[in-house]
Amino acid sequence: MEFLVITGMSGAGKTQASNILEDMGYYCIDNMPSAMIPYFAELYSKMPGKTADVAFVIDVRGESDFLPLLAELDILKDSGYNCRTVFIDCEDRVLINRYKETRRVHPLVTLKNISVNEALALERKMLRPVRERADYIIDTSALTPSQLRDKLIAIQNSSRTGSLVITCMSFGYKYGIATEADLVFDVRCFPNPFYVPELKNLTGLDEAVRNYVFSSKQTIEFMNRLYDMIDFLVPLYAEEGKTQLTIAIGCTGGKHRSVAISEALKSHLFAEGLNVISVHRDIIKKFIGDK
């Protein structure tokens, strides 16, 4: 039995994560006071037939100070319970756009009578201690619902196997570097399918693009060296206690080379029995003028 705490920025996707976890079999509880969590865990674990994992969803509506939450989670862990924290984050500009699109109001705007920008800054300050202690951080700025689901499934699997959660992420440098990455590899030096007319409007998920990318001897040599490096590093990260590793592969537009190479890396790591998913941050951006 596992107790998972879901917290993070308002509008980042905690409710969506809760719905996904519920579909995965978790018993989800919204905004339980932190002081009650250890008592609930003790009671729930002793109830006959209660074997489902539990997810507590906690946000600024239920906590004015998150330090007591950390203390209660320490009590839970010290009592021998399997307890982990997932922090759902998102870039401020994306959060602001989401509020505009949904016509919803940030909870601190109403509670504190401040602007949305001030509310986001205050919320980040309030949540900083929890974010620093989180076992997993999920940035939903460019995630689709299915990609969020994949990440949560990987986290669930890591609990059962004790394995590192590895994300192979493709991105386009023209849209900014992948800030959440632990390792970044620039593959703009390899032949670009964008300049091949019949490949321009395809992506690295298409076989024709993959064949083009890996027809280069330099790409093949890079992949072999990349595999060796990652195979060397992953056990070291796991031994050090790291719970998640994001490997970012960047090309110009994030649609061709980086996608094909990150998928190849994912396949290699999966074949090694590792807990790995792929995220293609910029693959759905407009093709017009992209390279």
**Sign (positive/negative) of CA torsion 92, 97, 102, 107?**
positive
13 is an annotated ligand-binding site residue: yes
The tokens for 18 are 């809760």
Tens digits of per-residue pLDDT, 136-157?
999 999 899 999 999 999 999 8
Q: Which of 30-39, 106-115, 165-174 has the largest mean confidence?
A: 165-174
pLDDT at 291: 47
For the segment 255-266, the average pLDDT, to the nearest whole number, is 98
Range from 42-51, 110-119, 128-137, 228-237 carrying the lowest mean pLDDT: 42-51
In whole angstroms, how far apart are CA 203 and each of 45, 277, 289? 48, 18, 15
219 is an annotated ligand-binding site residue: no
Query: Distance between CA 244 and CA 267 in Å, rounded?
Result: 18
Helix (H) or strand (E) holding 265: helix 257-271
Strands (E), the chain: 2-8, 27-30, 54-57, 82-89, 136-139, 165-172, 183-186, 244-251, 275-280
Mapped onto helix, strand or coil, the DSSP state of residue 28 is strand
* Cβ 194 vs Cβ 200: under 8 Å: yes
154 is an annotated ligand-binding site residue: no
Write the Ramachandran bin of 164: left for phi over 0, alpha for psi from -120 to 50, otherwise beta. beta
β-bridge partners, 245: 166
62 is an annotated ligand-binding site residue: yes
Nearest to 8 by CA among 114, 111, 148: 148
61 is an annotated ligand-binding site residue: yes
Query: Distance between CA 230 and CA 267 in Å, rounded?
Result: 13
Half-sphere exposure of 179 (CA within 13 A, CB side): 11
15 is an annotated ligand-binding site residue: yes
Mean pLDDT for the chain overall = 92
The tokens for 106 are 């940030």
Helix (H) or strand (E) holding 37: helix 37-46
pLDDT at 289: 44
Tens digits of per-residue pLDDT, 159-206?
766 679 999 999 999 999 988 899 999 999 999 999 999 999 999 999
115 is an annotated ligand-binding site residue: no
Tens digits of per-residue pLDDT, 64-108?
678 889 999 999 999 999 999 999 999 999 999 999 998 899 999
CATH 3.30.300.100 assigned to domain 2-161? The reply is no
pLDDT at 290: 46
Residue 207: pLDDT band with limits 50, 70, 90: very high
pLDDT at 64: 65
The tokens for 156 are 């669930």
14 is an annotated ligand-binding site residue: yes
Residue 49: pLDDT band with limits 50, 70, 90: confident
181 is an annotated ligand-binding site residue: no
241 is an annotated ligand-binding site residue: no
pLDDT at 55: 96
* Cβ 47 vs Cβ 41: under 8 Å: no
Q: Any idea where the domains of the chain sit in the sequence?
A: 2-161, 165-280
